[in-house]
Amino acid sequence: MVSVDQPTLDLRLVARTHRRLEPLHSHVYFAPETEEHLAATGLRPGRMVYFAGRSAPMGAVGPGVVTATFSNFAPALVARHIPRAWTLVAPEQVLAARLTAARASLTRLLADPPAEDVAELADLLREACTVLTPEGRPLYAGHADQPWPEEPVLQLWHAVTLLREHRGDGHVLSLVRHGLSGLEALVTHTLTGRGFTQQAAQATRGWSADEWAAALAGLTDRGLVADGALTEDGVALRAAVERETDELSAAPFAHLGTERTERVAELGGALTGRLLANGAFPAGVFSAR
C-alpha cells in the first residue's frame, strides 16, 4: 500500500491546477523549435529527439531505464533510438539545446504575456517545488539535479517540468501498485474515451497489433474489460489510479495552501490559454479542463 502522508487539499483543485500547468511543459513535444535545436546537436529528428530530450537529465541511460520511466512505450521502439543517441551527442548538449528550444517556443506561443504574471507564477511554483522529494521519482530527480535558470520564462519552464515529471513518476507508481503494465495502462486509458484512440496510441507508442491484442485479452481475463469496453471494475481501477495520482502530487500545492494554489491555477490557466490560442498543439491533442 502506498502511504500518502501530507497536508490535505481539495484533490479537485490539485488535479485542475496540474492540468492548467502541464501544457506549459508538454507543448515542447510539438514545437518546431524543439526539433530544430535538438536535431542541430546531432540527434536524428523524430523519436530520437523526444527520447533523448526527455531522458537527458538522467544522463546517458540505456533503453531499459527510458522504458521504465516513460512507462508506456514499446521497448523495441525505445531501443531503436537509445543508446544510439548518446553516441551522437552528450546529454549536456541536449539539455542546453532543450532550454534554448523551450525559451524560443514559449516566447513565440505566449506572445508577450504580462511580465509580472510570468514572474509571479515562476516564484509561486519555485516555492511549491521546495517540498518535492526524489524517492521513487527518477525522472523528477534527474530534472531536479539541473540548476534553476535565471530568466523568469525559463524558471517557469523548469518549475512546471519538475511538477510534471514528479506527478508522472507518481502516476507510474500507482499503475504498478494497481497491477497495470505500461501497455495495459495505455489500453485502459484509451478505453476511458478521454485519451488516445487505439490507432494513435499504437502509432505513437510503438506497440504492434498482436501486442495490443494480447494485453486486451489479459485485461479481459482479469475482468477489467468486456466486449472491448471497461467493466465496472475496470472503471473503478482507473478512477483509483487517477485519485492516487492526485494524492501523490498534492504536496506542492498543499504547501502553498488553497489561496495561493488558486492563484497558480488562475495564472497557469491564462498562460495555457495563450498557448492554445496560438496553436501549440495539433487539433484534438489537448483540451483545457
Kindly write down the DSSP assignment for every residue of 157-181, as one continuous string.
HHHHHHHHHHHHHHHHHHHHHTT--
20, 269 in Cβ contact below 8 A? yes
Taking residues 36-58, report their average pLDDT: 98
Q: What is the DSSP string of 65-84?
A: HHHHHH-SS-HHHHHTTTTH
Taking residues 13-39, report their average pLDDT: 97
> What is the pairing mode between strands 225-226 and 229-230?
antiparallel
Confidence of residue 1 (pLDDT cuts 50, 70, 90): very low
Residue 33, classed as helix, strand or coil, is helix
Burial readout 251-270 (b: 16 or more C-beta within 10 A, e: otherwise): bbbbbbeeeebbebbebbbe
Chain centroid to CA 121: 19
Confidence of residue 288 (pLDDT cuts 50, 70, 90): very low
Backbone angles phi, psi at 60, to 5 degrees: -80, 65
Inform me whether the pLDDT recorded for 289 exceeds 50.
no
Nearest to 208 by CA among 110, 79, 73, 8: 73
Chain centroid to CA 147: 20
Identify the pLDDT of residue 8. 75
Inform me whether the pLDDT recorded for 44 exceeds 80.
yes
Confidence of residue 108 (pLDDT cuts 50, 70, 90): very high
Identify the pLDDT of residue 283. 72
Determine the Cα–Cα distance for residues 37 and 255; give it in Å rounded to an integer: 36
Confidence of residue 287 (pLDDT cuts 50, 70, 90): very low
Identify the pLDDT of residue 3. 46
* pLDDT digits 0-9 by tens, 245-262: 999 999 999 999 999 999
Residues in CB range of 184: below 8 A, 6 or more apart: 215, 218, 219
